[in-house]
Structure 1
Amino acid sequence: MSYADRPWLTRYPAGSPADIEAEYTTALDVFDAAVAAEPDSPFLCYFDATLTFADVDRAATALASALVGDGFSAGDRLAVYVQNNPAFIIGIVAAWKAGGIAVAINPMNKQRELTYMLVDSGATALLTLDDLYDDVAAPVIATGKTAVRTVFTTSPLDFQTRDDPRLFAGVERRRNPGTRDLVETIDGFDGSSLPAPTLTADDVAVLTYTSGTTGEPKGAMNTHGNLAFNAQTYRDWTGLKPGEGVLGVAPLFHITGLVGHVMIAMLVRAPLTLTHRFAPDVTLDAIRERRPVFTVAAITAFNALSAAPGATPADFESLRILYSGGAPIAPAMADRLEQVFGAYIHNIYGLTETSSPSHGVPLGVRAPVDATSGALSVGVPVFNTVVRVVGEDGEDLPVGEVGEFVTSGPQVVKGYWNKPDKTAESIPGGALKTGDVGFMDSDGWFYVVDRKKDMINASGYKVWPREVEDVLYTHPAVREAAVIGVPDEYRGETVKAYVSLQDGATVDTAELVEFCKEQMAAYKYPREVEIVGELPKTVTGKILRRELRDAG
């Protein structure tokens, strides 16, 4: 068997091509085509507001003009540090219109994390929520460590008037000294124009930060070609038709939200429903109001929606194309949720470095369950994609044998920002060594059965133990720390820390949890800390996380 022969193609629906040709060269081309063809069609639905493609185009052009006026030039980086707001899309399109690169930053990140990403990316401009500026970004910029010289702030209240109290109770617009208000900037530069940037498929469109085996975040260079190709993959794989609405459940800074929400909505010229952040009751009302057809989300989000007070199967009737990625799905949960949603939730699988999907379950097909492990298949490789299962020696393994997935295709990123050594290590010759371990069965279905090394997967977010341990080690009472993932009914996995204390030190475990919470994104900090006398080690002194997992 040769993986290059793509035995999984027999799983494709009749008439489906093995390969597709990208219709657009760049992500900006995708957006510009939508503006030209459907300027007055709804694009962003944000509570009681609807922004057309032309509205977003004018706003992005205005912001791009302001950026260029401040010295932003081709190849420069604009960091976008907001929630699921219209500002996110306006920001990334503005960066492209100015010939630059957007840097997508998790709005849950704290000062330490934000500092690293701004410094690493070399961003010269920042678009952020006004409260995040006051609480997080301003102190970072004040250190002088970053290259940021221009800051635009926006409120979650912008672009709408409903001010839903379930999300926005007590929220007021802030005027941040030393920054420029986004809405005022758009108004001030309304009607401006810029020469079309010179962009190619190989140019970087967005830096999306992921973690490496050392725990040091790496900026994956998602190119314009990557985004344009995988937007089309989503469209052709799901069968989403022009104008059929997309529900924005996944965070837009995450590759799933960026491609599976923003890019597909641009390509299909469809309305994208946004709700600032995911709150089940608010999202349920948005579904009732906007009647979207498609979404892709972590299984925990589907589970939360199904349990929203007052939710009935009738509420979800419009959502007939459902996909879930980011975290494993238990077969029993898939069956239960199908009863609630009235539609089968198909698995889809990919990484930041594959610009979202590399595998998917074809629409209308039920994923098989591996009889031995009980795992639900993550699907088959998508168009133009070859996935090999290799052993430790890098050689292809036979059907059914467990090894590492190595992915090649148009969606694989060109590398990591300013990290040629990491690029050579993880993407040699353009083939991504995913670090995920699994196998392919005789019918071409792929199964993920484990994750390489010690990465923790909490609700689809990657958490690397060393990063949490490094924070714990800064507490004066902590002598040693080891972090592992433990099963969690809601998140799939959650973070647990084991610590030993300095001689004579005392500390409450709740204090250690709070200590980490103050310095880390919400999905990263340990929900449980256990104090032990000694941590298990090898004879050379290396802490054995494996023994802690086995003992737990």
Structure 2
Amino acid sequence: MSVYDDKPWLALYQQGKPHGITPEFANVVDMFAATVATRPNADAVRYFDGRITARELDELSDAFAAGLADTGFVRGDRVAIYAQNVPQFVIAQLGTWKAGGIAVSVNPMNRARELDLILRDSGASVLVCLEGLYRDVAADVVPGTDVRTVITTSELEHQTRCDKRVFSGVERIDCAGTVDMATLIDRFRGTATPKVQLDPDDVALLTYTSGTTGPPKGAMTTHRNVVFNAQTYRDWIGVGPDDVLLGAAPLFHITGLIAHIALSLLTGAPLVLMYRFDPEVTIETIRDERVTFAAGSITVFIALMNAPNAERSALASLTKVYSGGAPIPPSTVRAFQDMFGHYIYNVYGLTETTSPSHAVPVGADAPVDPTSGALSVGVPVFDTVVRVVGDDGRDLPPGEVGELVTSGPQVVPGYWNKPEETAKALPGGALHTGDVGYMDSDGWFYLVDRKKDQINAGGYKVWPREVEDVLYEHDAVREAAVVGVPDDYRGETVKAFVSLRPGRSADPDELIAFCKERMAAYKYPRQIEVRDELPKTVTGKLLRRELRG
């Protein structure tokens, strides 16, 4: 049976016909206004024991917008948000849009050099950041940038529980020369400001690429992009106001921005935030809040399986589980389903596709490629056309491996102030993803790897992903990353880095032998290094470039 058989719009995709969804709103502000009108007293954000209703979120973000206007902020100005998963992130982002501005998402793990790069590149005039981040990082960076107003806030706001597992070492800090966010909002609460008309093609977000292959670039994510993919999540998965969304992904990341914030603003489903990810706290939160939907990297779900309080009953409500941002080993999907009873649906997208371009349809199990063992990333979502092209730019038939080139309403128009990079990556508006994969005869897509990560071992091509998937089949392996390293004989050879599950052991020779039994002679790793932890981005994407040395 084909995946398209009982999905009429997917059948249209297979036939090359339109299968889109109609954007219901011109911008994200109007999208949220519709939710406030229909569900004013419903929770919009939950933060430990704190609750913010849709009406309160509307009022708080109105006040923030009025405060921005008082500083001289005008349409098109940028606000950089440098914070963890706290309610103030949502308030500032929504308030920035209401003021006609562009929200710039900053990774809270960024240090001075990285923050300086983003502030300079974006030209942000306002910085919103946690007090600790201002003291430790931003205070020394801001003077050399265009930032003229710094608004600080504490992660202890909007809740009283102060769980020591999450807030250990956190204290309120007096940040001289900055504006306290709570004070600003109290001052302007109830102040009426003129509504700024936002068009679908106005930039809503500057979402910076993760920098796994080079310096970060600011993807210009439009209101049209955000609205479209918020609706994609809602309609593809079936998320509604009775759902409860877990904020497991960092809010600065495109998954957090769309699958958490935008989806909540659209549907009225409450967004549950936890400051930063802790496996034990997350399991308790899912249980207590009766969370139904979660999206995050596969490392999140691996961590949940390895948490000491991992019990099947605690995750009983979690019926809609999606993972993307990093390859998903089929063995992990099976293990999670065995432990908790829930299938992890694969979703694939990039910063430049505003999160999903592909997803596994609800009710379908993603097939596994019998040759490579790779789990399918699904099929293209609504109104999205994905071509597989060869090095000569020509389309390849099903089964042949090439670069994925994506077109659709979720594809960003370009990179901020980088016309040459835009022309290179988005010729004619189609995104050349840099990801290599193929489509099978039933329309399922599979990722092979990043083009730049391919290993050339004595003339033989090895994709790290395939080796990693084999390593994940070993019951002691928790995480695996494979890179090419110099070799006197082969030019380049395969090296793997692994971390092990708690309480398990395996030495390099054992793991090499395990791979050798399951792979062609040129593919299995000649070197394996066991580490306590592997380097990764805050979203859980393993950083192979840091392992190459």
Distance 2:542 2:339 in 1: 32
Aligned to 1:184: 183
Q: What is the CA distance between 1:10 and its match in structure 2?
A: 2.1
Distance 2:370 2:115 in 1: 44
Q: Is the 8 A contact 1:438 1:449 kept in 2?
A: yes
Distance 1:318 1:522 in 2: 24
Q: Is the 8 A contact 2:326 2:541 kept in 1?
A: no
Distance 1:108 1:178 in 2: 23
Aligned to 1:488: 498
SS at the partner of 1:128? strand
> Cα–Cα, structure 1 residues 485 and 45, in superposed 2: closer, same or farther, change >3 Å?
farther
Distance 2:271 2:397 in 1: 43
Distance 1:411 1:523 in 2: 23
4+ residue segments displaced more than 4 Å: 14-17, 211-214, 455-458, 484-487, 520-530
Q: Is the 8 A contact 1:367 1:377 kept in 2?
A: yes
Residue 498 of structure 2 aligns to which amino acid in structure 1? D
Aligned to 1:65: 66
Q: What is the CA distance between 1:42 and its match in structure 2?
A: 0.3
Q: Is the 8 A contact 2:325 2:541 kept in 1?
A: no
Task: Please list the CA deviations of residues 152-171 of structure 1 after superposition, one character each: whole Å capped at 9, or x if unmatched.
Answer: 11111001111111111332
Q: What is the CA distance between 1:282 and its match in structure 2?
A: 1.1
Distance 2:543 2:250 in 1: 21
Q: Is the 8 A contact 2:224 2:409 kept in 1?
A: yes
Bigger mean CA deviation after superposition, 12-21 or 27-36:
12-21
Give the unaligned 5+ runs of structure 2: 13-18, 455-463, 469-480, 484-491, 502-530
Q: TM-score with structure 2 length normalisation? A: 0.82
Q: Is the 8 A contact 2:383 2:409 kept in 1?
A: yes
Aligned to 2:132: 131
Aligned to 2:524: none
SS at the partner of 1:277? coil
Residue 236 of structure 1 aligns to which amino acid in structure 2? D
Counterparts of residues 375-394 of structure 1 (less than 5 Å) = 375-394=374-393
Distance 1:103 1:315 in 2: 36
> Cα–Cα, structure 1 residues 267 and 213, in superposed 2: closer, same or farther, change >3 Å?
closer
Tell me, yes or no, if structure 1 residue 171 matches structure 2 residue 181. Answer: no
Tell me, yes or no, if structure 1 residue 307 matches structure 2 residue 299. Answer: no
Counterparts of residues 62-101 of structure 1 (less than 5 Å) = 62-101=63-102
> Cα–Cα, structure 1 residues 191 and 78, in superposed 2: closer, same or farther, change >3 Å?
same
Counterparts of residues 91-490 of structure 1 (less than 5 Å) = 91-142=92-143, 144=144, 146-210=145-209, 215-454=214-453, 486-489=496-499
**Percent of residue pairs bearing the same amino acid type:** 54
Task: Please list the CA deviations of residues 307-339 of structure 1 after superposition, one character each: whole Å capped at 9, or x if unmatched.
Answer: 222221111111101111011111111111012
Distance 2:227 2:358 in 1: 17
Residue 148 of structure 1 aligns to which amino acid in structure 2? V
SS at the partner of 1:347? strand
Q: What is the CA distance between 1:450 and its match in structure 2?
A: 1.3
Residue 13 of structure 1 aligns to which amino acid in structure 2? K
Residue 341 of structure 1 aligns to which amino acid in structure 2? F
Q: Is the 8 A contact 2:240 2:268 kept in 1?
A: no
Q: Is the 8 A contact 2:253 2:539 kept in 1?
A: no
Q: What is the CA distance between 1:445 and its match in structure 2?
A: 0.3
Distance 1:33 1:79 in 2: 26
Distance 1:235 1:56 in 2: 21
Distance 2:336 2:322 in 1: 12
Tell me, yes or no, if structure 1 residue 13 matches structure 2 residue 19. Answer: no
SS at the partner of 1:292? coil
Residue 103 of structure 1 aligns to which amino acid in structure 2? V
> Cα–Cα, structure 1 residues 219 and 12, in superposed 2: closer, same or farther, change >3 Å?
farther
SS at the partner of 2:81? strand
Task: Please list the CA deviations of residues 404-455 of structure 1 after superposition, one character each: whole Å capped at 9, or x if unmatched.
Answer: 0000000000100000111011001110000000000000000001111149
Aligned residues: 475
SS at the partner of 2:214? coil
Give the unaligned 5+ runs of structure 1: 1-7, 466-481, 492-512, 531-544
> Cα–Cα, structure 1 residues 353 and 56, in superposed 2: closer, same or farther, change >3 Å?
same
> Cα–Cα, structure 1 residues 314 and 526, in superposed 2: closer, same or farther, change >3 Å?
closer
Q: What is the CA distance between 1:24 and its match in structure 2?
A: 1.2
Q: Is the 8 A contact 1:11 1:380 kept in 2?
A: no
Residue 226 of structure 2 aligns to which amino acid in structure 1? L
Aligned to 1:46: 47
Aligned to 2:518: none
Residue 84 of structure 1 aligns to which amino acid in structure 2? N
Q: What is the CA distance between 1:382 and its match in structure 2?
A: 0.3
Q: What is the CA distance between 1:9 and its match in structure 2?
A: 7.9
Distance 1:368 1:431 in 2: 27
> Cα–Cα, structure 1 residues 486 and 115, in superposed 2: closer, same or farther, change >3 Å?
farther
SS at the partner of 2:20? coil
Q: TM-score with structure 1 length normalisation? A: 0.82
Q: What is the CA distance between 1:485 and its match in structure 2?
A: 8.7
